[in-house]
Every structure is written in structure tokens, then in C-alpha cells.
Amino acid sequence: MDIYQQLLRELSEIEGEPEVLLDEPMSRHTTFRIGGPADVFVSPKDEKQTAEVLKAVRRSGLPFFVLGNGSNLLVSDSGFRGVVVRIYRNMSDINVNGEEICAGAGALLSAIAAAARSAELTGFEFASGIPGTLGGAVVMNAGAYGGEMKDVLTCARVLTPQGEIKTLTLPELKLGYRTSIVKEEDLVVLSAGMKFEKGDPAAIRDKMQDLQQRRVSKQPLEFPSAGSTFKRPEGYFAGKLIEDAGLRGFTVGGAKVSDKHCGFVINADHATADDVIRLIRQVSDRVYESSGVRLEPEVRFLGDF
């Protein structure tokens, strides 16, 4: 039996049967709006089903990728020869208990920030405009405007490659700049707990509105992108280095260095993944030539590049 047919049969035998799509265009599932088809696209309905799905996928030996909102991802034009497991809306419950919030890995950071604001909890305003999910934010220790996930996380429930579900404390997560033990040890985030402080409702609202206005005025939110394209080099700002290299508005095909914020590569005109990767490489080379600083992509790549 073909390995894909065997996997599909096993997935169909899982209790509750997860949603399965074949040859699913990844352009529908990334904020870049770019990407060819994934051979198999699976959306589990809960933690138990996620564990069963990943067990079957690992047993198949096929390559796989765990996807959230697709907000920090560039998928190859040829797609992904493997299985995409999406943890998103099916696992997005948000529960507030006093000054603590526990949420599923598929919960959007914006939704968690809104729940915190409603509960008069402060400390998560920085994440209100980050377009990703909680799971991805834990993996990458997402941050913005001086705040990071490590500032609020208390623990995370994760699934190990062996299929064991365990809870990691904040120190055990080993959160660093855009990294964590989750990323290093191929763990899958199922949910996470966060701790905040009581705050003034008006002050929380005003801060969130201020950060939103700053994003709208300084970031190219009107174009598809994957957010900040490059990691911040120590002692520098990627956008400033790119601007100083004369690359504001630089284009390759339909991909472009944003005129509004040079740290963003945008899908300006039906860009392909090849356009984006060529632009990223040329920007990195030219910044290195002009400043001696080598920019590294913050965006993750999936598929054949």
C-alpha cells in the first residue's frame, strides 16, 4: 500500500476523524499569501486528536510541519512534499482565572490580549498586534515593543516526539531571542499558561490603541508579509541597515522591501516564493557589503528552496 494511502487510512480511523485535505495550497494558510500545495493538510480537533495524528504521521516516516496562523512562514512555490498539521481555531480556547490565563496553542495572540483587557489584566499589550498564535509565539519567544513571551509565560503543555504530553515550567522552556527548547527538541505546543497583574482598564486600552496606531503608521499592514523578515543583529536594527544600504523599495519580481519599513519584505504584486528568497539573499549580501553585518532571516522556510 502507498505510504500516503496508509497514512490517510490511519487518520480516518482516529476517533472523531480530523479534517484532512489533499494538495492544499499553502498560499491560503500563510500571511505572505504565497506557497504551493501540501500533499496532506490535517487539522486536529483537540489535544488528544493532535497526539494521535502526530503519532500516525511520525509512524509514516513522512516529513511533517506543525502550522499555526502561518504568520512567520515562507512556503516554496513547489509546496511541501509531506504533511502539514495545523493547530489553529480548533484549539483556541482562552480561560481566565484571576490573574492567570490558560489558552490553547491555536489561540491568536490578539484574542488573548483582548481577553486580558476585558479581565483588566496588564502585561500582554505588546502582543495585541502580533498576528500569530500562542503556540508559534512560545516556539519563537515572540516579542514586540519591549515585551516578550518569556515575560508572561509560566508554563506550556507540550507533546514530545515520543508521544508523551508533559508540562514545562518557564525555566524549562529555555526561552531566548526567537528560540526555545520547543524549537530545539522538536516539541509541539498544545497550550500554555500566563500570569499577569491587575491594571487600570483605561490605561490598558490606551496602550493597546497607541501600539496599534504605531503599527499602522510604521508597518506595511496593507500588504501580505511575514512580519519582520530579519532577526535583529546585536547592536543594530535590521531595517536601518537595509535603508543605509540604499535598499528601501528594492524589488525582485513581485517581492519588495517595504517603503514604509525596510525591515519588512512584502508581497507587493503576486510575488512568488522564489522572488522573496532571492530578494532576502540579495538584501543580506548587500547589507554585508555596506556594513559588515550579516542579516539572518527570522522567517521560517518550508519546502524546497
List the catalytic residues. Answer: 178, 228, 298
3-state SS assignment for residue 191: strand
Q: Tell me, what DSSP letter sits at residue 27?
A: G
CA dist., res. 231 & res. 177, Å (int): 9
List the grid coordinates of 41.
Answer: 493538510
Nearest to 297 by CA among 275, 286, 281, 285: 281
Nearest to 107 by CA among 27, 193, 32: 193
Q: Tell me, what DSSP letter sits at residue 303?
A: S
Q: Which amino acid is at 161?
A: P
The answer to whether 250 and 283 are in contact (CB under 8 A) is yes
Measured at the alpha carbon of residue 55, what is the angle toward residues 54 and 58, in degrees to the nearest 5?
Answer: 80
CA dist., res. 106 & res. 112, Å (int): 11
The total number of residues written for the chain in this structure = 305
Provide the β-strand partners of residue 94.
Answer: 103
CA dist., res. 276 & res. 201, Å (int): 42
User: How do strand 255-257 and strand 251-252 relate by DSSP bridges?
Assistant: antiparallel
3-state SS assignment for residue 101: strand
Q: Tell me, what DSSP letter sits at residue 176?
A: B
The answer to whether 284 and 265 are in contact (CB under 8 A) is no
List the grid coordinates of 27.
Answer: 498560499
Q: Tell me, what DSSP letter sits at residue 11?
A: H
Residue with cell 514604509: 260
